[in-house]
Structure 1
C-alpha cells in the first residue's frame, strides 16, 4: 500500500481509542474517530478514503454488528477491512459468521499490533483474542 494509512476507529470508550490511536500513529497511520455510532452517518461525508475500520462491538445506540451492516451498505467501504476489536472475546465466532474481516481482543497488545495491522492491510484475516 502506498501513502499514509487511514484508519477509522468507531468506539465509545476514550481510553480504548487513545491506545489504538497511539499504536496506529506509531505505525505511521492517521486515524479518524467516531465516538458514538449514531454520529457515524453524518461523519461519513467528511471522513475521506479509509483503509481499515476498527469497530467496537458494544456501544450505546447501535452495536458493532449494526454499524458493520451500515458500513457495508456504503459503496465507499467496498473492500475496506472491518475489524471487530472488543473485550468480549466470546464474540469471535459471531463476528466471523456476521462478516467481519478480522477480530482483535482488547486489550490490544502493542508488540503484536504492527504485525496484525500489516496482515489486515494485506487482506489476511486476523482472528486473535489475546
Structure 2
C-alpha cells in the first residue's frame, strides 16, 4: 500500500501538531494549513491527499465554506473530509452539510487509531469524544 497523506486545516498550531503526531503514529504523512491562502495553495498543488481534517472555525474562513471548495474540486471528489472541532453541538449540521465524518476536540489518542482505520476503509466516523 502506498504512503497515506492527510491534509490538516486548522488555525490553531497546537491542534495541528497534535493531529499530525497522531497521524504520524499511524504511518500517515500530513500537510498542515492554517490560513485561507495556504488552503488555496494545498488545493491547487499536485499533492495527493487521502483524507482531509477540517476545523470549522477559523479566522477569515469557516469550515463549511472550505468544504464547499474542496468538494467542488474534481481531485478531491473521493477524498473523505472529516470535521474536527470543539463545537460538539455542530455534529448534526456537519452531517447535513456533507462532511464525511466528525471528530470532537480534543482528539482521544486511544480511540484515534481505530477511528483513522475506519475512515480509511471508507466508513463514516461520527464521534464527539
**In which range does the TM-score fall when normalised by the shorter chain?**
over 0.9
Are 2:7 and 1:8 equivalent residues in the alignment? Answer: yes
**Structure 1: which 5+ runs fail to align?**
none
- Tell me the CA shift for residue 37 of structure 1: 2.5
**Structure 2: which 5+ runs fail to align?**
none
Residues 10 and 37 in structure 1, CA contact (< 8 A), matched pair in contact too? no
Write the distance in 2 (CA, Å) between the matches of 1:105 and 1:27.
19
Residues 38 and 61 in structure 1, CA contact (< 8 A), matched pair in contact too? no
Aligned to 2:20: 21
Aligned to 2:71: 72
The two structures, once aligned, show a CA RMSD in angstroms of 1.0
Residues 55 and 83 in structure 1, CA contact (< 8 A), matched pair in contact too? yes
Q: TM-score by structure 1 length?
A: 0.96
Q: Indicate the SS of the match to 2:45.
A: helix
Write the distance in 2 (CA, Å) between the matches of 1:85 and 1:102.
8
- Tell me the CA shift for residue 53 of structure 1: 0.2
The superposition leaves residues 2-31 of structure 1 with CA deviations (integer Å, 9 ceiling, x where unpaired) of 211100000000000010000000000100
- Tell me the CA shift for residue 47 of structure 1: 5.3
Write the distance in 1 (CA, Å) between the matches of 2:127 and 2:42.
29
Aligned to 1:37: 36
Q: What is the count of residue pairs matched by the alignment?
A: 129
Are 2:111 and 1:118 equivalent residues in the alignment? Answer: no
Q: TM-score by structure 2 length?
A: 0.96
User: Where does structure 1 differ by over 3 angstroms across 4 or more consecutive aligned residues?
Assistant: none
Distance change (3 Å), C-alpha of 1:47 and 1:61: farther
Write the distance in 2 (CA, Å) between the matches of 1:123 and 1:98.
18
